[in-house]
Structure 1
Amino acid sequence: MILLDAIYINNSGGKILLDYLIQELEKSEKKVFYLLDNRVEGKISYLNGSKNEVLLIQASLLNRYKFYLKNKNRFKSVLCFGNLPPNIRLNAVVYTYFHQQLYIHLPKDASLMLKVSFFLKRQFFKYFFSNTDYWFLQTDYIKTNFAKKFNADPEKVIVFPFYPKLIENSNVKRIKHSYVYVSNAPPHKNHLRLINAFCSFYDKYHIGRLTLTIDYEFTDLLEIIKEKMSLNYPIYNIGFVKRDKLSKIYRQSEYLIYPSTAESFGLGIIEAIENGCKVIGADLPYTYAVCKPSLTFDPLNEQSIFEALSLSLSENISPSYAEVSNKIEELISILK
């Protein structure tokens, strides 16, 4: 039997990938035990009627330790989807899917709180590091830096990007000079610099519109957006968007602009390209690891973002191309 341990995944891009992974495992008819975060209760309807076992628990090191202690010899293979290997060494082949770039490198402008948080997380990570046999990662760039940072055997670090396609065939009119950034708003997502640069761009050209998807919990940023809108800047925050509505948002937009200062994959970049957007991306390795962007900028420099927006008004901007492929079938075939 396979164990899929995803107790630290409950929202955002990680949840999208988890949903896709579970649905593909269900199609494979493999015998799987799903250990999931109790915060996904009511959000996994695709498991209704599944023949496989599902256990929802509160995400904590202690609860996870108790589970592994009780089930140490139960599974033939284990996939930890959420960066952290098991708390103890198991009598099974263990694979850990690593998808958090911040464990490797923090942005230059990271807050003290973020630095302290990831210092502590990194200590746990190193302590449990040897409890996995193999590491799965999303790009060759992350693989190189991961192996160097944690002195990992490159032969046991395998690149397995996977992602669900997000393509809708409905006829939607693309709005000229429209920019979208599909992301929630932790600090490294860099919304404030983007907003300021867009306002400078609009002051000069009086053209364009910026669509954001910031959730209600980021109150300080939402107040800034509200203030900008009161000054007649065309910045529209549409909040969290359900996945079945996302394709339409991309297909209405000419450009995806992606100013994040740290990413392990950048799922939104792939989704945007699949739906015909050109990408204006941060001039950072994670961007080039997943795509050939149309334009780039320094994400720590508002003037650079402004200049990229200005260049986007040209008529001869090249389209963007994805540089990764979906390897979900290869990943699932390894699990026994």
Structure 2
Amino acid sequence: MNIPKRLFLHAPNVHVGGGLNLLQVFYGVAESNIDFEQLDLRAKAGMKPGRAERHWVRPTLFSRLAAEWRLRSRVKASDTVLCFHGLVPLFPLKGQVTVFLQNRILLSSDSLKSYPIKTRVRLWGERLMLKAFTTRIDKFVVQTPSMAEQLRGFLGEQTPVVVCPFVLADVDQADVPAEKIYDFVYVASAEPHKNHQKLIAAWSLLAEQGLRPSLALTVPFDTALSFQIEELKRKWDLNVFNLGQLSSREVSALYDQSSALIYPSISESLGLPLIEANSRQLPIIAAELDYVRDIVEPVQTFDPASRTSIARAVKRHLGYGQPTQAIHGPEVFLREVMR
């Protein structure tokens, strides 16, 4: 007797940004295959109705635990479970379990001190869970070769991992070319790994040198970062415009109004804005990191930890020469010491 194979979609905590966009795209093609789903309540407005049994998960410890227990109780040996939120199940499951892992921070031993204490504790716990419960996973799916390499480095070379990138359908460009309002655009939320602080520090350095290129940001309003950006903007008279969190259509229009994408993020599983900008043939100035070269060829690169390196890359792209330091002999050094 053949038992029908059922698909369980488990996606608590997927409610904003690129993760939600990918979930919506996936759901658009997989809805008829999904038999049971657990979604984040905060994503309710963005998820269309489906035919499956649906449970909304609140962002509370009790609701998350209840969802994990419900999953354990319902999954049979013939079922497939997709953990779209990138975490291993809390309880062992009878079916085949696939984890779609998008958070590169979980695969790193880097310090988390730049994150708020609550986020720091959560990420630390998720790293421990990933290591402790890996044997419960039949397969990991990641979106780039460098992510797969990092996953194997974190969990071991025998970790079952498949590279299978997918992205949003490309949005239509404006029929009439839009006016270029901004020299650079950076589409990113306010998380510390997005590296806005170094980017703004580079813009402040450029202002010290008399250069004020325009920069459009999409940092949500009423965040500590948005206030910090406004403070530095006033202090250095920066040509920076924070537009707040935008819809997909608004982001599309913003690309059309921008001359180049700058991307200083220090950690990405894919980097959707890189793909979106590349599809529009926008020049890309980005961090010299593996995740960037997995998917695009930037016109300029920089060290994302250095405001000087970022500023120099911007100047190169804008056509400003960067004088190098003259190297002197020991006689000049002696004269300087004695002067």
Give the TM-score band, short-chain normalised: 0.7 to 0.9
Q: Is 1:87–1:131's contact at 8 Å kept on the other side of the alignment?
A: no
Deviations 1:112-155 (A, max 9, x none): 7466543322112223222221110111111011012111525x
Q: Is residue 99 from structure 1 mapped to residue 108 from structure 2 by the alignment?
A: no
Residues 223 and 217 of structure 1: CA distance in aligned 2, closer, same or farther (over 3 Å): closer
Partner SS, residue 318 of structure 2 = coil
Q: Structure 1 stretch 17-26 or stretch 227-236: which is displaced more?
A: 227-236
Q: Structure 1 stretch 175-184 or stretch 3-12: which is displaced more?
A: 175-184
Distance (whole Å) between structure 1 residues aligned to residue 26 and residue 157 of structure 2: 25
Q: Is residue 281 from structure 1 mapped to residue 286 from structure 2 by the alignment?
A: yes
| 1:329 matched residue in structure 2 | none
| 1:52 matched residue in structure 2 | 52
Q: Is residue 43 from structure 1 mapped to residue 84 from structure 2 by the alignment?
A: no
Match of 2:10 among 5, 10, 14: 5
Q: How does 1:178-327 map to 2 (within 5 A)?
A: 178-219=183-224, 221-230=225-234, 231-314=236-319
Q: How does 1:64-75 map to 2 (within 5 A)?
A: 64-73=67-76
Partner SS, residue 130 of structure 1 = helix
Q: Is 1:210–1:235's contact at 8 Å kept on the other side of the alignment?
A: yes
Q: Is 2:69–2:91's contact at 8 Å kept on the other side of the alignment?
A: no
Q: Is 1:228–1:235's contact at 8 Å kept on the other side of the alignment?
A: no
Distance (whole Å) between structure 1 residues aligned to residue 111 and residue 293 of structure 2: 19
Structure with higher strand content: 1
TM-score (ref. length: structure 1)? 0.84
Cα RMSD for the two superposed structures: 2.3
Deviations 1:307-328 (A, max 9, x none): 001001139xxxxxxxxxxxxx
Q: Is 2:189–2:219's contact at 8 Å kept on the other side of the alignment?
A: yes
Say how many residue pairs are matched: 308
Residues 282 and 72 of structure 1: CA distance in aligned 2, closer, same or farther (over 3 Å): same
Distance (whole Å) between structure 1 residues aligned to residue 214 and residue 228 of structure 2: 16
Match of 2:132 among 105, 112, 127: 127
- Deviation, 1:281, is 0.5
Q: Is 2:203–2:311's contact at 8 Å kept on the other side of the alignment?
A: yes
Residues 32 and 72 of structure 1: CA distance in aligned 2, closer, same or farther (over 3 Å): closer
Q: Which amino acid aligns with 2:73?
A: K
- Higher alpha-carbon Rg: 2
Residues 244 and 69 of structure 1: CA distance in aligned 2, closer, same or farther (over 3 Å): same
Residues 53 and 244 of structure 1: CA distance in aligned 2, closer, same or farther (over 3 Å): farther
Residues 148 and 288 of structure 1: CA distance in aligned 2, closer, same or farther (over 3 Å): same
Q: How does 1:130-149 map to 2 (within 5 A)?
A: 130-149=135-154
Deviations 1:180-227 (A, max 9, x none): 1100111111111111211322443545200000112423x2223223
Distance (whole Å) between structure 2 residues aligned to residue 109 and residue 90 of structure 1: 31
Residues 12 and 285 of structure 1: CA distance in aligned 2, closer, same or farther (over 3 Å): same
Unaligned runs of 5+ in 2: 1-5, 321-339
Distance (whole Å) between structure 1 residues aligned to residue 293 and residue 98 of structure 2: 26
| 1:162 matched residue in structure 2 | 166
Q: Which amino acid aligns with 1:51?
A: R
Q: How does 1:15-26 map to 2 (within 5 A)?
A: 15-26=20-31
- Deviation, 1:257, is 0.6
Q: Is 2:187–2:217's contact at 8 Å kept on the other side of the alignment?
A: yes
Q: Is 1:168–1:248's contact at 8 Å kept on the other side of the alignment?
A: no
- Deviation, 1:107, is 5.0
Structure with larger RCO (C-alpha < 8 A, sep 6+): 1
Q: Which amino acid aligns with 2:192?
A: P
Partner SS, residue 45 of structure 2 = coil
Partner SS, residue 95 of structure 1 = strand
Q: Is residue 14 from structure 1 mapped to residue 14 from structure 2 by the alignment?
A: no
Residues 55 and 152 of structure 1: CA distance in aligned 2, closer, same or farther (over 3 Å): farther
TM-score (ref. length: structure 2)? 0.84
| 1:318 matched residue in structure 2 | none
- Deviation, 1:292, is 1.0
Partner SS, residue 257 of structure 1 = strand
Distance (whole Å) between structure 2 residues aligned to residue 247 and residue 193 of structure 1: 25
Distance (whole Å) between structure 1 residues aligned to residue 294 and residue 76 of structure 2: 38
